[in-house]
Amino acid sequence: MENIDTGEITVGVVGLGLMGCSFIASLLIAGHNVKAIAPLTEDMESASERVHNHLTVCENAGLLNKPIESYLAQVVITEDYGHLSTCSLVLECVIEIPAIKKSVYQKIEKVVTKNTVIASNTSAIPISELQNHLEHPGRFLGIHWAEPAYLSRFMEITCGSSSDIEHANWVYELAHCWGKEPTLLRKDLRGFITNRLMYAVYREGLSLVEKGEATLEDVDKAFRYDAGSWMTLMGIFRRMDFMGLADQFEIFKTVFPKLCNDDNITPLMQHMVDIDARGTRNLLGLYPYTEEEARKWEEAFVLFNMEIFKLAEMYPSKREKKPVAEIQYL
């Protein structure tokens, strides 16, 4: 990791929506030169301002060590894919429609070298599936960022069935230069890690609410104030160590058989989709929102992220020793 000079590595970003511009800010802060490709002409107009706004947030958070203009000098915003020719890594973050992604990959592969790593930020389409659209699929990976990209330590690097693990290892090292605590999935696990585990929570939570056993609000309160009080510090398995494993084992035995095992979505969730509820985006969600409230949640999320980012920094995980359980048992 110490040997990586980010100034020597040019990174391409294709797709300059909210997420793409957020990645760009993170990459610029890490010292990369960035080629930012706008597949949509309207993004050409807004991208520069978006990147500027993100960098302003970073400046206020004390993440910058030079003026915003110096960072902006490291990025080229263009519609011309040709600029990608010098890139060692290209990040795709266009809309989650396979046909569109396919055409983007073709345009990228036309100009980059054979060794350029190409990665998608998708969370909806399996990497192994997207990989089929590439001429050189071994160089293709999933790199899944969390928003806002410059204020989150989370990053999931995922191999598809024909990804070259060397490329994944390189991105894994590089991600540390971006201030990430990355995870590396050698297999294309559906839902990756966090989503997969969170969906287990959503299934159980929706089931409890659906059966009238708990309210939405109480589930949220319990998670905010209980799980929230150790999540960022420990994750789930160290939490088990901290609580002592034997007691939990006894409770697992009685509670596991009571957990929801339904493959089907609850009628509550179906109803929300039927009425086109898009949450804070269209003010129609599980909770009610006014325009102002939705805006306040957006603002609170950015602020909270900044705070939890700083807080996490005080409790570093470093690269931890291999867990005993995996050496001894697995």
Site for its own copies in 31-50 (CB under 8 A): none
Q: Select from 296, 304, 6 the least CA-distant residue to 148.
A: 304
The verdict on 62 binding its own copies (CB under 8 A) reads no
The verdict on 169 binding its own copies (CB under 8 A) reads no
The verdict on 225 binding its own copies (CB under 8 A) reads yes
Give the residue with the Cβ less far from its own copies, 68 or 193.
193
Query: Which of 1, 18, 97, 200 is close enough to bind its own copies by CB under 8 A?
Result: 200
In what order do the strands lie in the sheet containing 117-120?
75-78, 33-37, 10-14, 89-92, 117-120, 140-145, 155-159, 183-185
At position 33, the amino acid (one-letter code) is: N
Minimum CB distance to its own copies, residue 221 (Å): 5
Token digits for 195?
């989503």
The verdict on 197 binding its own copies (CB under 8 A) reads yes
Minimum CB distance to its own copies, residue 119 (Å): 18
Burial of 125 from C-beta contacts in 10 A (0-12 / 13-18 / 19+):
middle
Give the residue with the Cβ less far from its own copies, 139 or 144.
144
Minimum CB distance to its own copies, residue 242 (Å): 5
Token digits for 284?
């129609």
Scan residues 262-301 and list those touching its own copies (CB under 8 A): 262-265, 267-273, 276-281, 284-289, 297, 300-301
**How far is the first Cα of the chain from the last one, in angstroms, to the nearest whole number?**
28
The verdict on 243 binding its own copies (CB under 8 A) reads yes
The verdict on 312 binding its own copies (CB under 8 A) reads yes
At residue 257, the 3 state secondary structure works out as: helix
Minimum CB distance to its own copies, residue 70 (Å): 28
What binding mask, one character per residue, do residues 107-146 give for its own copies by CB under 8 A, x or -? ----------------xx---------------------x
Give the residue with the Cβ less far from its own copies, 42 or 263.
263
The verdict on 100 binding its own copies (CB under 8 A) reads no
Helices 231-243 and 291-313, axial angle in degrees (round to 10): 60
Query: Which of 236, 291, 292, 295 is close enough to bind its own copies by CB under 8 A?
Result: 236
Minimum CB distance to its own copies, residue 228 (Å): 3
The verdict on 214 binding its own copies (CB under 8 A) reads yes
Give the residue with the Cβ less far from its own copies, 69 or 320.
320
The verdict on 190 binding its own copies (CB under 8 A) reads yes
Minimum CB distance to its own copies, residue 163 (Å): 15
At residue 232, the 3 state secondary structure works out as: helix
Minimum CB distance to its own copies, residue 113 (Å): 30
The verdict on 329 binding its own copies (CB under 8 A) reads yes
CB 134 within 8 A of CB 9: no
Phi, psi of 287 (to 5 degrees): -105, 155
H/E element, 120: strand 117-120
The verdict on 95 binding its own copies (CB under 8 A) reads no
Burial of 6 from C-beta contacts in 10 A (0-12 / 13-18 / 19+):
middle
What are the C-alpha distances in Å from 309 to residues 58, 91, 149, 156, 180?
12, 23, 11, 17, 11
| Length of the chain counted residue by residue | 330
The verdict on 170 binding its own copies (CB under 8 A) reads no
